[in-house]
Each structure stands twice: as structure tokens, then as C-alpha cells.
Amino acid sequence: MKERLTITLDDDTLDLLDQKIDGKKIKNRSHAIEVLLSRVLGNNRPTKAILLLGGKGTRFRPITYELPKALLPIQGKTVPEYLMDLFKEFGITDFVFSVGYLADKIKQYYGDGSKFGVNITYVEEKEPLGSAGAIKLAAAHLTETFIVTNGDELKDIDLEEMYLFHKQNKAVITAALTTVVDPSAYGVAKLEGNRILEFVEKPKKEEAPSNLINSGLSIWEPEALKIIPNGFSMYEQDVFPKLAKEKKLYGYIFSGQWFDTGTPERYEKAIKEWKGMKVRA
């Protein structure tokens, strides 16, 4: 519920306020004040993110026999470092790293996060738990709205805008969707407005319901953790479909850079084409 508030501002402040209005992200003075207050008060973003780093990186063998995929460099930095840079742009500095394969090497490199200007807590899979199982393992640390991201994709997303979208739709999970030319290798979103009806896994290009795919980043409410079964589970199969049926799964479409580094070919493409994070005011 919103309440009307009357305030008085001097001309110079109004001029500065008007400079924030672009008609799209910020529509008018009232909206500008609301957005700026949200930023100052810190309720314009989640406060925590979990990075899923437990994979064995089998497609990169023999390199990943000794080096975990989370330590492979792209233009001098690892993918988790780029992700932390993105999150820090939005004031998010509290992270859970879900690790498994070669966990000690990941912990040794990232430590407690202090050298990156963040705080890192670890949860460790003793046996593979899948994408959802790894999140459930960290449930004690995920008591407020949080971000889930795969650790092998470069992304440049306006997390503030995505968070506001998530809250406005009262979603339980909002998945960030990106556009690709050929979606046949991914989970493809079938939408009704902004609501996700289902993800179609690896359809033929001509049969895909859209060119919008799951980018591997999503915003979750803690209640979604209750849906995850015990043991091995994947959120793509065990969580998203249930929430889609309940009309609580939404898709946020973004146009920023996105690179999947999950295969040697895609990794090479990212090295060549990644342009770094967008500089935000």
C-alpha cells in the first residue's frame, strides 16, 4: 500500500531530480523520489547471493583434473570475480559459495572474501546434490530475499531494476532471461506476459516457444526453499515447474551482456568478446 506525501524542494534539487527521469526506468518526479529513497534506505536489492560452484567441469578435462572451473581465467579474472564485481555495484557484498569438487582450491583462492571487498561463507557438498540441493544445503544462510547464480556465466544485469520487478510482481522466484539466436541448447521460456508458464528444455530451434533462455541468475524468496526435496535435485526440474503451475514464477528480460562459459568453445568466445561490466553512475 502506498500513501500520498507532500514535500517541498528548492529549484536546484528539483533540477537534479528531473535529470534522473528518463520516461522508462524512472517515469516522473514521484517515481524518482521513491527510487532514490529506496537506494538510500537499502531496500532496493537483496543483501545476499549464492554462487553455485560445485561442478566438476568435465568438458574441460584434463585441465579440470587439477584446476576447478571456478578458477579458469577470462581476461585475467575468474567468472566469480566478475560476478562479485557486478553485485558490489549494487551494494551486495555478502556471499555464500556452494562448493564440492576441488573445494579446497576454491576456498584457498577466494578465502573469506576480504581481498575482494566482500564476505564469503562456504557450504560444501560431500556428494553431488544438484543445483537445488546445493541451495537447500545453504538454507540456514538464506533467510531473506536472495540471488542464485551459476558460477560459470558472465552476466551484466541491472539487479536493482530486476529486484523491483520481482517485488512488484510478488514473485516467489524471478528468473533473468536473455535472448539468443539459437536457443536449442538451453531451457527456453514460454511466457504469458511476464509470467513463465514453463521452460522447454533444449527444443529444436524451429519448435522453440521463444528465443528467451534462463540466464542462470534468479531472485528467490526463502519460501521457495520449502519446495526443494531432500537429496539430489535440480531447480530447473524440481522447483521452477511447481512455481509455474502456482503462477509464482516470473521472467525478467534483460539486454546486457551474457556469456555461457560451460564448454571450451563458449569459453573461448567469452575470452574474445566479453567487454567488461557496464560502468554505472
Active site residue 202: yes
Cα distances (angstroms) measured from residue 8 to each of 26, 33, 38, 44: 20, 12, 19, 24
The rounded distance, in Å, linking the Cα atoms of 52 and 50 is: 6
Q: Closest Cα partner for 103 from 77, 74, 131, 127? A: 127
The rounded distance, in Å, linking the Cα atoms of 156 and 62 is: 30
Residue 225 C-beta-side C-alpha neighbours within 13 Å: 18
Torsional class of 165: left (φ above 0), alpha (ψ -120 to 50), beta (otherwise): alpha
Q: Closest Cα partner for 277 from 118, 114, 89? A: 89
* Pairing label, strands 77-78, 73-74: antiparallel
Q: Which residues contact 273 (CB under 8 A, 6 or more apart)?
A: 259
User: Three-state SS for 155?
Assistant: strand
Catalytic pick among 77, 202, 247, 278:
202
Can you point out the beta strands (E) in 21-101?
48-53, 73-74, 77-78, 94-99
Q: Closest Cα partner for 69 from 44, 101, 92, 104? A: 101
The rounded distance, in Å, linking the Cα atoms of 153 and 79 is: 7
Query: Any idea which residues carry the catalytic annotation?
Result: 202
